[in-house]
Structures are given as C-alpha cells and as structure tokens.
Structure 1
Amino acid sequence: MKHWIEAARVRTLPLSVSGIILGCFYAMSQARPNWKIFTFAMTTTLLLQILSNFANDYGDGIKGTDNEDRVGPKRAIQSGSISAEAMKRAMIITSLLTLLSAITLIYFSFKGAHLWFSLFFLVLGILAIASAIRYTVGNTAYGYRGYGDLFVFIFFGWVSTLGVSFMYLKEIDPLLILPASAIGLLSVGVLNLNNMRDEVSDKKAGKNTIVVKIGGAKAKTYHYFLVVSAMVLMLVFALLFDWYKDSDPEEFNFNTYLFLIAYIPLVKHLKTVYNNKEPRLLDPELKKLAISTFLVSILISQSLIYFLSDLVVQIVNATIIHFK
C-alpha cells in the first residue's frame, strides 16, 4: 500500500483540483448549487490525476527515462517496488473507475435533458483519459515531443474550470476564462519546473520537452511569463468580478482580493528560480508552486462563497418583504 500511495504522487493532487474548485464555486455564486456535481467532479479529477501519475511511472519506466540521472524521488518501476505488469493493471482499473465517475458526473449534470451536452462531455472524458495515458506511454507519446505544456494548459485550466462551470450553468461565462487560463498557466509552470529540473536526463533519454528544445536559459524566461501572466489574469478577473457584483463601484471589497496573499509565495518562487544556477535544486519548488496555485484557487473560491452567502441573504430578505 505504501508503494502504491507513493506511485499516486499525492503531492500532485491539490494542483489537479484547483480548477475544479474554482469553477464549481464560481458557478454556485450564480445561485445554482449542486453538491453532487462538485463531489463527482472532484472524484473524477483526482482519479484522472492518479491515472496520469501511474501512466507516467509506467511510460518513463519501461523506456528507461527514469534512470540514475533523474532528480527527485524514485518512481515505483524505476526502484522495482512495483512491476510494470502490476502498474499496467492499475492503469486499466483506474481508467475504468475514472470513466465510471465521469459518467456519474455527466448524469447528475444533465440527466435526461441536454443529450448533446452529455455526449460531448462523455467524449471529452474519454479524451482526458487517453491524454493522461498517452503523455508518456507509446511510441507517439506527446510528452516526448514537447506537447505536454499545451495539454496541461487545456485540461488543467480550461477543461476543468470552464467544463465544470458549464455543468452547473449550461453556458460558458466569458469572465471565467481569465482565472481558468491563470490556473492553466500555473499548472504549466509546475510542468516546466519539472522539465527544467530533468533537462539533462530528458535530453539523454530523447524526451524532447519544451525545455530540451529551447534550453534552460530561455526556459527560465518562459517560466516568468507563465507565472506573471497568471498573476495578472487573476487580478484582472478580481477587478472585473468586483465591478460586476458590486452596486457601489467606489466601495473596496477586501474579501475579493484576499487571494493576493498567495502572491507572496509566488513572488518568492520567481526570485528563487531567477537566482538558481543548478536546475536539480529546483525540485522543492514544484511543491511550492503547486500549493501556491491551490491556495490561489481556495482564496478566490472563498470570496465567491462570501458572495454566494450574501446573495442568499438578499434572496431571503426579498422573500420576507414580499410576503409581508
């Protein structure tokens, strides 16, 4: 059990649900709460991330990418704690559980209505499962050709945040594209850190990540762009959301900007990356950036919960006045 928990790479799980949490609470701030959608969206996403971690362990393990040159904790197949055959079986089981959870999520979201929406999300779920596996598995694994960043941005940012919000609202709110893109960029930042750390070993193994293609120096600049752009998008979202929900635009709502607290570790992280001379020492920064992304999501969601509770109070008061 200990080896399987390690193979699931628990430290990656908070990052995977950041977009889901933000998308759910944004939708519920529109007064459309549905905790069944929230529960199965979280379950599906966590299973999908675990599947991705198992697949990465399997793909890099059988290809020899995980070797003595790799920095960071040893993978399960690399260390011999789990066999390739056992990992392959685990991938199949996790894929089936993910699909079952996704189907349940789709049912609670659309039920008998919106058949085309149900079919679209079913196809999207199957594509997400396939993408989680194909990142490192197979001769045409897209992670070995430098497309990992694009897929992470799409699935961790847009699909998770906008997708789960659509399940509530049955429409896409253009304003939500801003934080969805920010979560996607920060998630790509975590992947970029991983690739910066493993540049030497990836290059030897023929894993042509973006970092391998552009080099470590340009990868640093790329990293600054990812994190700073995400910070800007979050701030613009907060300003527009504050203006949208506040009848008095001159009143400053501190609660809406509480997420700026998370900018402190983000700025410190950028400083660490800037001063870094040895990519291998970037390993601890993966966890820090992932947790910072999760913190941003939680703090923004907290402001949405505040707005939701305030909206409920207004509705109750209006109902009391109506009956009086």
Structure 2
Amino acid sequence: MSLLHDDDILRAAALLEQGRLVAFPTETVYGLGADAENPAAIARIYAAKGRPSNHPVIVHLAPEADPGYWVSAIPNEAQALIDAFWPGPLTLILPRAAHIPAAVAGGQNSIGVRCPSHPVAQALLRAFKGGKGGIAAPSANKFGHVSPTIAQHVRDEFTDGSVDLILDGGQSEVGIESSIIDLSRLDSHGPVLLRPGRITTLQLAQVLGVTPAAPDAAAPRASGTLEAHYAPRTPVAMIASADIAPTLQQLAAAGRRVALLHWSAVHHAGALQLPSSPAGYAHGLYAGLRLLDMADADLILIEAPPGSADWQAINDRLRRAAHDSAGILERLL
C-alpha cells in the first residue's frame, strides 16, 4: 500500500522538471525516471544504471497525454492496441517524431512509449508538466541486474545518491516488465514481439488479427532484450523438474551450497516456492531472486517452468538471467 501524499508527487514532478532522477512504481516494476525531452537528464539515467547509451529507454505517458506528440505516425494497429491495453503493461515501438531527442531512443529512429496503470505512476505523470510531459524510465536497478518490485529494492541498488527521490507505491502487481511490440516496420515486417510480458502473444494476435512475428536481426533495439539480463549476482542454472532431486544430491555430495527456486512440490532446505500460476509466479519472481541472492549460495537452482505459451514471458526472463552462467552445473559438480 502506498503511503504517499500529494506533496510527495508534486515534489517528484518538480525534481523531474529540474532534470533530476526519480524512481517510481509501475504495475510492472519500479522505473528510474527522468524528463524524456531533456538529454542531460536522460544521460543521468544511463550513468546511474551503468547502461550502454545505445540501449533505448521507454517513455511513460499519462492516460490523457497525446502519444502522437512522440511519434511521427500512429498506424491503425497501434491505435487498436492502445484502445485494448492502455493503461497497462504494453510498450509500442513506433517511428520517433523528429523533435524528440534521439538520446531517449538510444540513437534510433524509433521510440518506445507506454501508459502505465499504477495509480502512483499516473499521479506523477499527470503532475509532471501538467500531464503533457513524458517520463523516460527503464527499470530502477543497475544495468543487467534483477529488476526492482518494491521501493527497498531500489534503495538497495542505488546507495550512491544518484537517485534524488524514491516514491514508495508498494509492490508492483505484475512483477515483470511490459510486453514490447514493434510497429515501426509494418510494411516490411508486420508487427514483431520484441519482449513478451503479461500481455500475451495470443492477446495481441486477437486485437491485431495476425500473430506477431519473432524478433529478427534488423529489429530495433529495445529494453531488456539483450541475451544476458535480469541476473542476480549468484550464478543461475535452470533444470527440469525430474532432474531436481538427483542434481541436489550431487551438489550436496560436492559440498556446494544451493538456493532453490521452485513451483512444484520439492523439499529442500533454503528453497523458495513460487505460485504455480504464471501471474502468481511473475509477481514473486524478482523479489524471490533477490532474496535467494542474499543466501550466500554457490548456485541458484531454478526449476524450469512449464513451456506453454502463458509462461513465455517468465521463461524469457529466466533464460536471460541464466545466460552468463552457462555451464555452471558442470563446473560445480
């Protein structure tokens, strides 16, 4: 539950207008916000996160704001998705309007925009520049690390004073980042799903009348789409449910300390069980990874979720979290 007052929102909006950084809650994860039309402020985001300057950020808009200010065209497909899913966890990649700074788009000619549904995010967006501004906001964590879903996660990430204010709006409901769909190349590629999220491929297809394609080599760069991302500091390995018990036995015999993240019935000291529904699992995933990251373990072992379409976004995040730990099981055993 949020403990914020109107004065907190007004203070945050004033800081943003001064080019400062404000972390705020959205329904997906907490964002690290700056004035999307201020290149110097955007540079502060990149510096605070340690984020490559060619990796674009998403512009968040108030429900009453005009997305047409930010893009050079809103095709029918985009308007249909806006009508169906905004406010909500869906980011649209569209051609960037010429007057919008390239810094917010990582130097690309396209730009990502979304309208969050979290009441604190909406209050901040309405207060900032009279509701007409945009807040550039990647996740409020160091680049590549696990995204934050409560205000304390943000405090834990930024102990250097680089963030001027953190708005505490409680735990993010969704718990993983927005779906990102590219509509900037409709004539040549059609709609392309760059990052899965709470809004599924099937839901998008039902609105668009066509199933979005998978990312191609020429697709625009987008937030959270690098092969290694969302990673705790402890190495991560993901294995099938049937392999958990024998793997735990082998690791114990090798004297390894293991933190286990699972969803089915598994008994292991230091284990954390998440719900067996995609929505419940996503809600607790990042908080769970952060908790297990503090367990002083040699390995975070993750029970692979089901491979069905409704688990696509979760499997995407876990695959990226484990990317840089490839081969870790073999090295520990």
TM-score, scaled relative to structure 2: 0.30
Higher Rg: 1
Instruction: Name whichever structure is richer in strand by fraction.
Output: 2
Greater RCO (Cα-Cα under 8 Å, separation 6 or more): 1
Instruction: Name whichever structure is richer in helix by fraction.
Output: 1
TM-score, scaled relative to structure 1: 0.31
